[in-house]
Amino acid sequence: MVSNQVLIVDDDADILKLIRRYCEKLGCSVREAQTAAEARAALQGFTPDLVCLDLMLPDGSGYSICEQIRADPRLAQVPVLVLSARSSPVDRAAAEEAGASEYLIKPLRWQSFADTAERLLAGGPQAN
C-alpha cells in the first residue's frame, strides 16, 4: 500500500519538523519546501495528496502558491491546508479566495490537525 504524500511548505524549520512529525504519525510520506521557489519546483513533477501551506514565505506568498495549484489542471483537485499565524477573518477569506481547502491557525494542536488532514486526505468536505 502506498502512503499518502504530503508537501509541507513553511519557512520555519521548527514548524516544518512538527508538521512532518504529525504527517508521519498519520502514515504519510513527506516532502518539504521552505520557500515559494522550492514549493514551485517541488510541484513541477510531483502531485501530492495534500499540501500544508504557510502564507508568509521569505520569497513570496502562500496565497500565490495556492492560486498556482488551483490553476494547474494536474493539481487543481489537491487539497490545500493553510497553516498560518494570521488569525483575522480577512486572511482566512483571502486564503479561501485563493483556493484553500481548509485553514488552521498556529500554534497547531495535534487533534485539530489530524482531524482536518485525515478528512482532506479521504476526500471529505472542504471549505471551498
Asked if residue 126 belongs to a domain, the reply is no
Average pLDDT, the chain: 94
pTM for the predicted model, two decimal places = 0.94
CB 61 within 8 A of CB 84: no
Which range of residues forms the domain containing residue 94? 5-121
Can you tell me whether residue 77 is helix, strand or coil? coil
pLDDT per residue over 19-56, tens digit each?
999 999 999 999 999 999 999 999 998 999 999 999 99
> What pairing do the DSSP bridges indicate for beta strands 80-84 and 50-53?
parallel
* Total domains present in the chain: 1
Which pLDDT value is given to residue 128?
45
pLDDT per residue over 9-22, tens digit each?
999 999 999 999 99
Is pLDDT of 124 > 90?
A: no
Asked if residue 128 belongs to a domain, the reply is no
Asked if residue 92 belongs to a domain, the reply is yes
Asked if residue 127 belongs to a domain, the reply is no
Place of cell 494542536: 109
